[in-house]
Amino acid sequence: QQKVQQSPESLSVPEGGMASLNCTSSDRNFQYFWWYRQHSGEGPKALMSIFSDGDKKEGRFTAHLNKASLHVSLHIRDSQPSDSALYFCAANTNTGKLTFGDGTVLTVKP
């Protein structure tokens, strides 16, 4: 069983809309959770990290972590066409090994 599972596989939202991405882990050793974004032809780039229960907001992006259920989500408000990309949830322990989910393809339609 994959240790980091993401849903949905793909998501389409209108410009200005809210996009919600989900991630569940099966390993309670994970301490840090990350959201990375990858545009076509580029390497992934970190959007934000979260390691405490609750919400963390950075601009239009809000991450939410529930450690009890090992569930983390990412919400993008006022979505823009430039937000269209592959979004990865990733988690690691203090060893540095980052485990990635398979990603969610987000399409923002003008």
Positions touching another protein (CB under 8 A) are: 4, 31-32, 34, 41-46, 49, 51, 86, 88, 92, 94-103, 105
Report CA dihedral (43, 32, 95, 5) to the nearest 10 degrees: -70
Percent helix, strand, coil in the chain (nearest 5)? 5, 55, 40
Question: What's the closest the beta carbon of residue 47 comes to another protein, in angstroms?
Answer: 10
Longest Cα–Cα distance of the chain, Å, equals 42
Q: For residues 14 and 39, which CB has a smaller minimum distance to another protein in the complex?
A: 39
Shortest separation between residue 48's beta carbon and another protein, angstroms:
10
Nearer to another protein, 79 or 104 (CB): 104
